[in-house]
């Protein structure tokens, strides 16, 4: 069976783009906790296609029904739009697996006083 | 994308007047406490104390709870508020009803003034209850928070019904039970049925959210729900039937329910993701410490042979001016800035430098407010227990200073306007345009 894998150069470029997207999203801060969404571990998955026309992000919130959820999502959409005006951005809120404090990065733990 | 909470939020114009009026009513109440400390040295059934109590429970506590629920019920039930117009009507009726009823009690006018106040406050509560029930009917969300809120409103309706019956009984004396026993029934339906259950229903959702707590045992809340409601029902029926063992059993069940709730909160605190409590949460934590005062006094009442008047006064003051007031003041800092901030800056987030919700109030004033409040409450309790008007007046003055700072911060938050350079767009069209 033949499996179509992207050529290594494309794979590397996509990896770099995902890192770039994560860096952009570090500017999105939860206004209650004052910690960015990457260090909070809210972003589960970032996918982009080849050619670069679409970004899909799976993310969660620290609590279902968080009243600031849509502010965070709108902030993400705007920041990605500024950097990728010709790319469609699709952000999907997921609750499975639920967020737990174990998803915090070391920087996130330090910001919440858990370090 | 799945619908999320703030899309269901009502207009700030619905919510904000409740906080402004509530803050001013509390200001008037603590000013009256400082100016008339003798109110708290006599029997609890006295005209001025009844006037002060109704100003606090209707003008301050119920007023702010109404406003907060219009914001929080859509979050808990994930549906829009049924009618904003009903909320405006409830606000106007409650504001007028609180002032008229408090004035009627203060001057012990049992005639048209008290009846007018009762009808206005009753009308407000019917509008509010209808609005929340209709909102709940449209929601498919189920859960214990919803049960607590709905049951609390049923107890509120019962409390008002009992209050109106009492007002008529005061004039026509048609009930077979002594009036003071009925007053206990009315007060406890309000304290434990309305305030406490409402607080449990809302706080069990939002306090873990603010502390980023996960993995608590929610069975404790189920126990709290059944024990408090069962205890309250048994206690009220036994009070009416004048059957002391039933009252004692009801108290034991209710206190057990409060214990389960406090255990849930303690677990949430231990498992919190955010280690440092901010100013609003510090004052909320103080409220739960103060809750121990009325709980211990309630146990003392059931198993002591004599009932000193000052203990009864301290019990009421510890609930209304201690636990409930401290919790509402603390949670104001967790909700009001977000309501205003969402309204002013939601469309500007990410487009430039915007203030954060906590930047909308004066943090040192909030810190001093907690210190003055704690000192004032301690002074008030000491003065009531020792029956010394000078100490009560001093405690009242400290509480007044705390409430002045609280009102100052409310006005800062509500009056906040964006600066010209807030949220300057870096360029480009909106992603949704």
The answer to whether the Cβ–Cβ distance between A31 and B350 falls below 8 Å is no
> How many CB pairs below 8 A link A and B?
97
Considering B294-298, B299-303, B345-349, B352-356, the range whose residues carry the highest mean pLDDT is B294-298
Question: Does the pLDDT of residue B432 top 70, yes or no?
Answer: no
Q: What is the pLDDT of residue B425?
A: 46
B357 interface with A at CB cutoff 8 Å? yes
Question: Does the pLDDT of residue B81 top 60, yes or no?
Answer: yes
Q: What is the pLDDT of residue B431?
A: 57
Give the closest residue to A73 by CA, choosing from A53, A59, A56: A59
- pLDDT tens per residue, chain A (115 residues)? 555 656 665 667 777 888 899 999 999 999 889 999 999 999 999 998 777 789 999 999 998 777 788 889 999 999 999 999 989 999 999 998 989 888 999 999 999 987 6
Give the closest residue to B416 by CA, choosing from B316, B303, B340: B340
The answer to whether the Cβ–Cβ distance between A73 and B351 falls below 8 Å is no
A85 interface with B at CB cutoff 8 Å? yes
Q: What is the pLDDT of residue A43?
A: 96
* Cα within 13 Å of Cα(B197), Cβ side: 29
Instruction: Compute CA distances B6 → A79, B83, B304, B341, whole Å.
Output: 20, 17, 50, 12
Residues B37-41, mean pLDDT to the nearest whole number: 92
Residues B170-191, mean pLDDT to the nearest whole number: 84
Q: Measured between CA atoms, how close is B19 to chain A, in angstroms? A: 19
Question: Does the pLDDT of residue B399 top 90, yes or no?
Answer: yes
Q: What is the 3-state secondary structure (H, E, C) of A3-38?
A: CCCCCHHHHHHHHHHHHHHHHHHCCCEECCCCEECC
Report the C-alpha gap between B432 and A77 in whole angstroms. Answer: 9
Question: Helix, strand or coil for residue B202?
Answer: helix
Could you read off the pLDDT of B373-382 as tens digits, one per residue?
999 999 999 9
CA B21 to chain CA centroid, nearest Å = 14
Please name the residue of chain B whose CA is at the shortest distance from the CA of residue A31: B356
Report the C-alpha gap between B406 and B416 in whole angstroms. Answer: 15
The answer to whether the Cβ–Cβ distance between A81 and B346 falls below 8 Å is no
Could you read off the pLDDT of B90-131 as tens digits, one per residue?
999 999 999 999 999 999 887 889 889 999 999 999 999 999
The pair of structure tokens assigned to A28 is 């999105």
Interface test with B, best of A32, A40, A57, A67 (most B CBs within 10 A): A67
The answer to whether the Cβ–Cβ distance between A33 and B338 falls below 8 Å is no
B270 interface with A at CB cutoff 8 Å? no
CB contact at 8 A, B82 and B135? yes
Give the closest residue to B149 by CA, choosing from B204, B88, B95, B207: B204
Give the closest residue to B24 by CA, choosing from B408, B388, B415: B408
Q: What is the pLDDT of residue B239?
A: 86
List the single residue in A68, A78, A112 with the smallest CB-CB distance to B350: A78
B346 interface with A at CB cutoff 8 Å? yes
CATH 1.20.1270.10 correct for A8-111: no
Instruction: Compute CA distances A8 → A12, A14, A55, B166, B322, whole Å.
Output: 6, 10, 20, 83, 67
Give the closest residue to B424 by CA, choosing from B356, B352, B355, B354: B352
CB contact at 8 A, B121 and B194? no
Q: What is the pLDDT of residue B67?
A: 96
List the single residue in B4, B273, B427 with the smallest CB-CB distance to A112: B273
Question: Helix, strand or coil for residue B429?
Answer: coil
Please name the residue of chain B whose CA is at the shortest distance from the CA of residue A70: B4
Q: Measured between CA atoms, how close is B231 to chain A, in angstroms? A: 32
Longest dimension (CA), chain B: 77
Higher pLDDT among residues B392 and B171, named by residue: B392
Q: What is the pLDDT of residue B175?
A: 83
Cβ neighbourhood burial of B174 (10 Å; 0-12, 13-18, 19+): exposed
Could you read off the pLDDT of B307-319 as tens digits, one per residue?
778 888 999 999 9
Write the ipTM: 0.80
Report the C-alpha gap between B103 and B114 in whole angstroms. Answer: 8
Percent of chain B beyond pLDDT 70? Answer: 95
Residues B48-58, mean pLDDT to the nearest whole number: 96
Question: Does the pLDDT of residue B433 top 70, yes or no?
Answer: no
Question: Does the pLDDT of residue B4 top 50, yes or no?
Answer: no
Interface test with B, best of A32, A98, A99, A108 (most B CBs within 10 A): A32
Sign of CA dihedral B59, B22, B315, B43: negative
Report the C-alpha gap between B244 and B301 in whole angstroms. Answer: 12
Percent of chain B beyond pLDDT 90? Answer: 66
Q: Measured between CA atoms, how close is B212 to chain A, in angstroms? A: 7
Least confident of B219-233, B246-260, B290-304: B290-304
A63 interface with B at CB cutoff 8 Å? yes
The answer to whether the Cβ–Cβ distance between A67 and B9 falls below 8 Å is yes
Question: Does the pLDDT of residue B426 top 50, yes or no?
Answer: no
pLDDT band, residue B2 (cuts 50/70/90) = very low
Domain locations in chain A as residue ranges: 8-111
Could you identify the residue written with the tokens 């509010």?
Answer: B128
Residues B289-306, mean pLDDT to the nearest whole number: 84
B281 interface with A at CB cutoff 8 Å? no
The answer to whether the Cβ–Cβ distance between B205 and A81 falls below 8 Å is no
Cβ neighbourhood burial of A101 (10 Å; 0-12, 13-18, 19+): buried
Q: What is the pLDDT of residue B336?
A: 95
Average pLDDT, chain B: 90
CB contact at 8 A, B54 and B81? no
Could you read off the pLDDT of B57-76 as tens digits, one per residue?
999 999 999 999 999 888 77
Longest dimension (CA), chain A: 52
């Amino acid at each position: 069976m033949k499996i179509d894998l992207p050529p290594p150069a494309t794979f590397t470029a996509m990896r770099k783009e995902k890192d770039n997207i994560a860096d952009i999203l570090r500017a999105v801060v939860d206004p209650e906790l004052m910690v960015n969404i990457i260090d909070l571990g809210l972003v589960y998955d970032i996918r982009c296609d080849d050619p670069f026309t679409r970004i899909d992000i799976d993310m969660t919130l620290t609590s279902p029904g968080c009243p600031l959820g849509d502010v965070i999502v709108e902030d993400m959409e705007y920041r990605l739009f500024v950097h990728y005006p010709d790319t469609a951005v699709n952000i999907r809120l997921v609750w499975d697996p639920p967020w737990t404090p174990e998803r915090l990065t070391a920087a996130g733990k330090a910001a919440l006083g858990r370090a | 994308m799945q619908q999320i909470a703030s899309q269901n939020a009502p207009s700030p114009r619905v919510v904000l007047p409740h906080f402004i009026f509530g803050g001013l009513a509390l200001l008037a109440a603590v000013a009256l406490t400082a100016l008339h400390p003798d109110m708290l040295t006599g029997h609890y059934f006295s005209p001025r104390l009844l006037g002060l109590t109704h100003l606090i429970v209707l003008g301050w506590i119920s007023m702010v709870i109404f406003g907060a629920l219009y914001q929080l019920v859509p979050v808990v039930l994930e549906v829009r508020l049924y009618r904003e117009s009903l909320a405006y009507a409830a606000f106007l009726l409650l504001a007028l009803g609180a002032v008229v009823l408090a004035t009627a009690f203060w001057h012990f006018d049992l005639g048209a003034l008290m009846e007018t106040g009762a009808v206005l406050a009753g009308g407000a509560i019917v509008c509010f209850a209808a609005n929340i029930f209709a909102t709940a009917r449209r929601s498919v969300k189920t859960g214990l928070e919803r049960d607590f809120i709905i049951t609390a409103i049923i107890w509120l309706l019962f409390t008002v019904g009992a209050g109106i019956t009492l007002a008529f009984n005061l004039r026509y004396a048609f009930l077979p039970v002594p009036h003071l026993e009925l007053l206990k029934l009315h007060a406890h339906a309000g304290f434990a049925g309305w305030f406490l259950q409402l607080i449990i229903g809302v706080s069990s959702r939002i306090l873990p959210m603010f502390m980023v707590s996960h993995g608590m045992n929610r069975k404790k809340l189920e126990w709290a729900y059944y024990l408090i409601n069962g205890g309250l029902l048994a206690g009220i029926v036994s009070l009416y039937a004048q059957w002391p063992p039933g009252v004692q059993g009801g108290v034991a069940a209710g206190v057990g329910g409060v214990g389960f709730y406090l255990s849930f909160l303690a677990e949430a605190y231990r498992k919190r993701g955010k280690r440092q409590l901010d100013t609003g949460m510090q004052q909320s934590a103080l409220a739960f410490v103060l809750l121990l005062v009325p709980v211990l006094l309630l146990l003392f009442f059931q198993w002591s042979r004599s009932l000193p008047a000052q203990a009864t006064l301290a019990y009421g003051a510890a609930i209304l001016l201690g636990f409930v007031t401290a919790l509402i003041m603390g949670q104001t800092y967790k909700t009001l800035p977000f309501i205003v901030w969402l309204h002013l800056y939601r469309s500007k987030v990410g487009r430039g430098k915007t203030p954060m919700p906590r930047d909308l109030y004066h943090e040192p004033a909030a810190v001093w407010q907690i210190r003055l409040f704690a000192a004032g409450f301690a002074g008030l309790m000491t003065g009531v227990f020792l029956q010394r008007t000078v100490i009560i007046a001093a405690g009242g003055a400290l509480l007044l200073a705390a409430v002045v700072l609280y009102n100052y911060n409310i006005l800062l938050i509500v009056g906040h306007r964006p600066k010209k350079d807030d949220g300057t767009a870096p360029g480009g069209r909106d992603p949704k345009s």
